[in-house]
Amino acid sequence: MAVYLVSWNLNKEKTTYNQARDAFFALIKQYPYAYDSNLDSVVFIQTEQPAQQLYTQLGAVLDKNDRILITQMTRGAYVGWLNQDVVNWLNARV
């Protein structure tokens, strides 16, 4: 199973921002995931799906003004400073 880093920016100017964010997170919660509350628009998702399929699913709730990046995490190819529970989650899966 792969772990992906998903980073996004929802257009906060639209009047339905909160609903769009809730819909986006409802899709994310269908997967095993880790979220560091200090990184507001980053989540780590574990899935058997390829990145393109994950993008298609998550992108369904985005509009043309929103942005998203999905990249696969690879052991030994990342470094950062995250909450320890997120680090533990990643180390157990990547």
Task: Dump pLDDT digits (tens) for 15-48.
Answer: 777 787 888 889 999 999 999 999 988 999 999 9
Lowest mean pLDDT among 4-18, 19-33, 48-62: 4-18
Query: pTM for the full model?
Result: 0.88
pLDDT of residue 19: 81
- For the chain, list the domains and their CATH numbers: 2-93 (3.30.70.240)
pLDDT of 9 over the 80 cut: yes
pLDDT of 13 over the 70 cut: no
Task: Please give the full DSSP string across 42-77, using - where no structure is assigned.
Answer: EEEEEESS-HHHHHHHHHTT--TT-EEEEEE--TTS
